[in-house]
Every structure is written in structure tokens, then in C-alpha cells.
Amino acid sequence: MQLFYNPRLDNSAAQFTLSQEESKHIIKVLRKKEGDLLHITNGKGYLFEAKIIVADTKKCKAQIVSTVKKHRKMYWFHLVVAPTKMNERFEWFLEKATEIGVHEITPIICDNSERKVIKIARMEKVIQSAMKQSLQTFLPKLNPPITYTEFINKPHEGLLFIAHCENEEKLDLKRRVAPDKDVTVLIGPEGDFSNQEIKHAYEKGFLPVSLGENRLRTETAAIVACTTVNMINNG
């Protein structure tokens, strides 16, 4: 099955027109024709099956023939990650985290961050593509970049963790996470969180966790955290 994305669809729609980009891909590249079926999600849990009624490369039109509403898991997983120096590495993280099953991502700018600007529109496209490729019907929420101080001073609920490299007593993340509990994990930049940032996190109720004995790159640490939370909730 190939999945398409149309955020404007809802369960009350009967007919709709696909974007020019997707129309061209469906008709010219995939060689779909009138009467063929498409599978489309709006990123909000709905999976639509639609029949092509106008096979136009610029304005492909389709009619919904069936709708399935999928439900989220009981927990909400929020990854808060400092952008990597190389854009490609952060995009790789976004892609893999989406495939594994993250719910929300917030890029944070820390004291030791080497990259302080990211292209949010580009990142959204990476996430959308990964959602479609992995046949998911929920699009992870990507928040605008925010400074560490702004983020940490917001109210937070659920299980709160910070993964840092300081040599102190920490429990493995897999021993901290509980099934069906909301989880937020902070992952720092290549230079790690500053001592002041770590102290501030503790003051706000974040607990230190280990992601293993090896020192990990930012994007690798985020994927390990994502995999751990997913396995605890889906094991």
C-alpha cells in the first residue's frame, strides 16, 4: 500500500482535489487512472480509501469510498532535542523517530548548541514523508525551535527525564519508563548540556537517565530514547 497525505481532509468530505505535486506523481509517475483506489491520511488518525474520478496531472480528483479512524496509544512521547551541527543528521533523526513512533518533537537551543537556526518547513516535509513511508495515520507534532530556558520554564507533566553525559548516578531510561505514561526526554547538543542547564532541569523535576555505557551522538541518543520508550509501551 502507498499512503498519501492531505491535511485538509476530514471525515465529512465526499470529494476532494489533490495538490498539483501529488496529482502529477499519482497520474504521471504511478500511472493511476480513473477508477483506481488511493489510500490517504490527514495525519490525525484517519485513513481514507478514495477512488479517482478525474485523472488529471494538475488537478486529480477523488471520491472517498471508506473511512477508518485509528486511535492513539495511551501514552504521549515528547522528544526535546538540540539541533545537530549538520542538518542531514537532524533530518535523519526526524525520519527515524517518526518511523519508530514519536508523538511530539521540540528543537531546543542550548548553551553549547552549534546550530541555532533550523528550516522548519524542510523538517515538516521530512516528517510527512516518514509518516507516509511507515504507513502511519498520525503526523508527529513539530514545534518551532525554542531556547532551553524558555522550554524548561514551561509547565510539564508526566515522566520527565534528561539524558546528559556528566559522571553521576543515573538509572537506565528503560528502568525509569512505565507503560502508558506520558514521557518527555531532553537530549542535548554535541557539547552536552551545561552544568547550569542540568541544575535547572533538576529544579523543574527532570530526572537524570542513562542511554547506555557508550557516548552517543545527539541524533543517536534521541533514537535510542525513542526506541526504548516505544519498546516499553509496545513490548
Listed in sequence order, the DSSP H helices in 45-204 are 87-100, 120-133, 148-152, 173-176, 195-203
How far apart, in whole angstroms, are the C-alpha atoms of residue 59 and residue 21?
9
Identify the domain boundary among 45, 69, 93: 69
Considering Cα of 121, then 122, then 125, then 126, what sign does the dihedral take?
negative
Looking at the 3D structure of the chain, how many domains does it have?
2
Q: Which residues partner with 141 through β-bridges?
A: 104
Structural domain including 31 reads 3-69
Residues 119 and 34 in one domain: no
Which pLDDT does position 18 carry in this prediction? 87
Q: Is the four-CA dihedral 151, 74, 134, 27 of positive or negative sign? A: negative
Asked if 48 and 147 sit in the same domain, the reply is no
CATH code, domain with 57:
2.40.240.20
Alpha helix ranges (H) inside 4-139: 20-24, 87-100, 120-133
Residue pair 183/77 in contact (Cβ under 8 Å)? The answer is yes
52 and 146 in a common domain: no
- Do 213 and 160 sit in the same domain of this protein? yes
pLDDT at 192: 94
What integer pLDDT is reported at residue 104 of this predicted model?
98
Residues 114 and 211 in one domain: yes
Element (H, E) at 62: strand 61-69
pLDDT in tens, the chain (235 residues): 899 999 988 877 788 888 888 899 999 999 999 999 999 999 999 999 999 999 999 999 999 999 999 988 899 999 999 999 999 999 999 999 999 999 999 999 999 998 888 889 999 999 999 999 999 999 999 999 999 999 999 999 999 999 999 888 899 999 999 999 999 999 999 999 999 999 999 999 999 999 998 889 999 999 999 999 999 998 6
pLDDT of the residue at 233: 93
Domain stops at, among 42, 69, 96: 69
| Signed CA dihedral, 105, 106, 108, 114: sign only | positive
Read off the CATH number of the domain in which 166 is found: 3.40.1280.10
Q: Kindly state whether residues 34 and 127 are assigned to the same domain.
A: no
- Residue 185's Cα: distance from chain center in Å? 13
List Cβ neighbours of 52 (8 Å cut-off, separation of 6 or more): 26, 32, 33, 34, 35, 36, 37, 38, 60, 61, 62
Q: Are residues 98 and 64 in the same domain?
A: no
Q: List the beta bridge partners of residue 38.
A: 50
Domain co-membership, 123 together with 183: yes
Same domain, 17 and 117: no
Whether residue 63 is found in the same domain as residue 84: no
Question: Among the three residues 49, 69, 89, which one is the final residue of a domain in this structure?
Answer: 69
